[in-house]
Amino acid sequence: MEKKIYKIAVIAGDGIGPEVLAEGIKVLNRTAELDGSFAFDFTYFPWGCEYYLKNGEMMPEDGIEQLSHFDAIYLGAGGYPGVPDHISLRGLLIKIRKSFDQYVNLRPVKLLKGAPCPLAGVKREDIDMVFVRENSEGEYAGAGAWLYKDTPREVVIQDSVFSRFGTERIIRYAYDLARKEHRSLTSISKGNALNYSMVFWDEIFKEVGKEYSDVETHSYLVDAASMFMVKDPKRYGIIVCSNLFGDILTDLGAAISGGMGLAAGANLNPERKYPSMFEPIHGSAPDIAGQGKANPLASIWSASQMLDFFGHKDWGKKLIDIIETMMVEKKVLTPDMGGTATTKEVGDEAVRLLEK
């Protein structure tokens, strides 16, 4: 049987990005070697804030065209002192998401074995949810105006964009996932205050739900939803929400399920017309860059998501099992997890456990 070659574009980015992605790539390559039926072909692109400071742009003008020929993108971290965050974010991450119609942001919030949890009286199985975040429009559409700039009459307008097409497809994706996994589905909005966008969202959720009578559903306002994540996280299974609410709540989810060092996310184009993108969610942490202190477990978790996406769910699960083993044993962990190991040593240990 001919070996499948997955072409992966690597944008390591800024700060600790190159360090943590190097360990994820190490694990992916060893996984492919052990399996034997597939392999990875990585191509590296030096885009990010350092590129911006030299060239005035986060990626070249034909960057999207270059990336379009790959099966997936493996992204590190963006952001560095001297480059405004709205430039680094919109010039790379959001540009890729929109250009490749990666309208599903899939973020697992799961308390793994051995992971620290700041909540008292919570069992490991109580925190096991998946966020389906709309990733292409909503509050991050970038629409608006800046009028009378630098005058006393200065006015800014930030528009949210919710199309029927975009809202229905993300909600339908979430319903399909809930049905497939036999889990409840919770919609999070703010319809009592956002009288156009979120009322529209709520109506679409109910409308699509008529086709999924077998799926248990709930609807919460975002403020109540955030409270329940802390006080009663076990009520959640699959969660669907808008771009902004998903962005905020998934970081809260990371805080209650082990910290940002374990936060991974997938930006999916489910139709596979364009490449999807996989990333650890933590920031670039320039204060510890190059010191070997960065935690690569989130990049390994995002590698697991990539394997799942390519249909290698057994290997994807194996990587999660390895992360759990390392956290339970507590022998090879970085300082943020209470250990003394370096970034590279954690990656090496993950490979060693792969080979057992």
Residue 155 in contact with residue 195, Cβ under 8 Å?
no
Segment 44-93, tens digit of pLDDT: 999 999 999 999 999 999 999 999 999 999 999 889 999 999 999 999 99
* Cα–Cα dist 16/89, whole Å: 16
What CA–CA distance (Å, rounded) separates 233 from 125?
Answer: 10
Mean pLDDT value of segment 319-330: 97
Q: Directed axis angle between helix 297-309 and helix 313-329, to 10°?
A: 160
At residue 342 the predicted structure's pLDDT band, cuts being 50, 70 and 90, is: very high
The pLDDT assigned to 283 comes to 87
pLDDT attached to residue 260:
86
User: Phi and psi of 108, rounded to 5°?
Assistant: -75, 135
| Stretch 159-185: mean pLDDT | 98
Q: How confident is the model at residue 173 (pLDDT cuts 50, 70, 90)?
A: very high
Reference 85, options 336, 286, 295, 289; nearest CA is 286
pLDDT of residue 18: 96
| DSSP letters for 221-264 | EHHHHHHHHHH-GGG-SEEEE-HHHHHHHHHHHHHHTT-GGG-E
Q: How confident is the model at residue 316 (pLDDT cuts 50, 70, 90)?
A: very high
Helix (H) or strand (E) holding 24: helix 17-35
Is the pLDDT at 341 greater than 90, yes or no? yes
User: Where do we find the tokens 């609807």?
Assistant: 219
What six digits make up the tokens of 356? 């057992």
Give yes or no for residue 174 having a pLDDT over 80: yes
- How does 39-54 read in b/e, with b if 16+ C-beta sit within 10 Å? ebeeeebebbbebbee
Residue 84: the pLDDT is 92
Q: What percent of the chain has pLDDT over 70?
A: 100
Identify the band that residue 261 occupies on the pLDDT scale cut at 50, 70 and 90.
Answer: confident
Average pLDDT, the chain: 96
Cα dist. 207→156, 180, 237 in Å? Answer: 34, 19, 20
The answer to whether the beta carbons of residues 7 and 41 sit under 8 Å apart is yes
> Whole-prediction pTM value?
0.95
Percentage of the chain modeled with pLDDT above 90: 96
Task: Please check the confidence at residue 15 and state whether its pLDDT lies above 90.
Answer: yes
Which pLDDT belongs to residue 1? 73
What SS3 class is residue 84? Answer: coil
Q: How far apart are CA 345 and CA 22, in angstroms?
A: 12
Taking Cα atoms as reference points, which of 15, 334, 36, 288 lies closest to residue 349? 334
Q: Does the pLDDT value for residue 356 go beyond 90? A: no
Return the exposure string of 108-139: e unless at least 16 CB atoms fall within 10 Å of the residue's CB, then b.
bbbbbebbebeeeebeeebbbbbbbbbbbbbb
Dump the DSSP string for 125-152. GG-EEEEEEE-SSEEEEEEEEEESTTST
Query: What's the pLDDT at 161?
Result: 96
Sheet (strand 217-221) strand order: 38-44, 4-13, 72-77, 276-280, 264-268, 104-110, 128-134, 238-241, 185-189, 217-221
